[in-house]
Structure 1
Amino acid sequence: MRVILQRSKQASVTVDGQVTGAIQKGYVLLVGITHSDTEEDIAYVAKKITDLRIWEDEDGKMNRSIAEAGGDILSISQFTLYADTRKGKRPSFVEAARPEQAKPLWEAFNEQLKANGLHVETGIFGAMMDVALINDGPVTITIESKGK
């Protein structure tokens, strides 16, 4: 599992002209699932995101979690995170899980974040989405379950 986390001041996702998810302060999560991912990967990454301390405390140091900072989550499925560009001019996506495997794992990931006490908004799995955000910092972090 691979997640690109962007700390944001506000963000939204729109599908066919309709906003499907929007947050103010929080994280935009671009979520990629590979064919070998399991519930263990989901739990690991959800806990890592929940506990990650990248919000400033009163001294201006990154020392607060998203819950302590009062932030929310905007979770967006993104199979292109597993693009392989080593050969040719067109990326290969063979490392991305098939939709029938990826969608339930992405949904389980979102449910795990909710179970961890976070408010989660989402895009629509498999849809063409317009994502808008104001990156805060900017702070952008990659989290992977492999090699944990």
Structure 2
Amino acid sequence: MRALLQRVSEAAVRVDGDVIGQTGPGLLILVCAMQGDGETQAEALAAKISKLRIFEDDAGKMNRSVLDVGGGALVVSQFTLAADTSRGNRPGFSTAAHPLLGEPLYRHFANHLASLGVPVETGRFGADMKVSLINDGPVTISMEM
């Protein structure tokens, strides 16, 4: 699975103008299931993210996790993280998991992250979503499991 994490002061996702998920201080996590991924990868990625020390401690060093700071997470499906730009000018997305596999893995990832103690809200898989955020830092990290 691939994820793009953004440390945020706040983030929200809207569908048809309605806020369907949001978080205050914490993480916006864009996530994509790739071909060959399973629950093992989803759980490993969630566990790593929950412990990733990208929040500042009292000395201003990135030394605290989202769990340590009591932050939340907004998890949004993002198949374009599978983009292959190696040929031509139009990205290909053939390495992304098929939606029938991708959606359950996306949900499993979000549910596992919540089970680890991170308050989680989500977007809507496959919907045309509008995501807004205030990137704190800015801190943006790409991950893959």
TM-score with structure 2 setting the length: 0.98
Matches within 5 A, 1:69-84: 69-84=69-84
| Alignment partner of 1:50 is 2:26 | no
Q: How does 1:24-39 map to 2 (within 5 A)?
A: 24-39=24-39
Q: Which amino acid aligns with 1:71?
A: G
Pairwise CA distance, 1:94: 0.3
Correspondence 1:104-115 to 2 at 5 A: 104-115=104-115
Instruction: Measure how far apart 1:51 and its partner are.
Output: 0.5
The residue type paired with residue 83 of structure 2 is A
Distance 2:101 2:68 in 1: 33
Tell me which stretches of 4 or more aligned residues in structure 1 moved more than 6 Å. Answer: none
TM-superposed CA distance for 1:133, in Å, is 0.2
CA distance in 2, matches of 1:41, 1:81: 16
Counterpart of 1:68 in 2: which secondary structure?
A: coil
Percent identity reads 50
Give the drift of 1:140: 0.4
The unaligned stretches of length 5 or more in structure 2 are none
What amino acid is aligned across from residue 73 of structure 2 in structure 1? I
Aligned equivalent of 2:140: 140
Distance 1:135 1:16 in 2: 23
Q: Which amino acid aligns with 2:59?
A: D
Aligned-pair distance for 1:18?
Answer: 0.6
Q: How does 1:60-139 map to 2 (within 5 A)?
A: 60-139=60-139
Distance of 2:82 and 2:105 partners within structure 1: 15
Task: State the alpha-carbon separation in 1 of the partners of residues 134 and 100 from structure 2.
Answer: 32
SS of the residue corresponding to residue 10 of structure 1 reads strand
- Alignment partners' CA distance in 1, 2:25 and 2:111: 20
Task: Say what the alpha-carbon RMSD is for the aligned residues.
Answer: 0.7
> Mind listing any 5+ residue stretches in structure 1 that lack a counterpart?
none
Deviation, structure 1 residue 40? 1.1
State the Cα distance separating 1:80 from its structure 2 match.
0.5
Q: 3-state SS of the aligned residue for 1:95?
A: coil
Instruction: Tell me the number of residue pairs that the alignment of Structure 1 and Structure 2 aligns.
Output: 145
User: Distance between the aligned counterparts of 1:120 and 1:9, measured in 2?
Assistant: 15
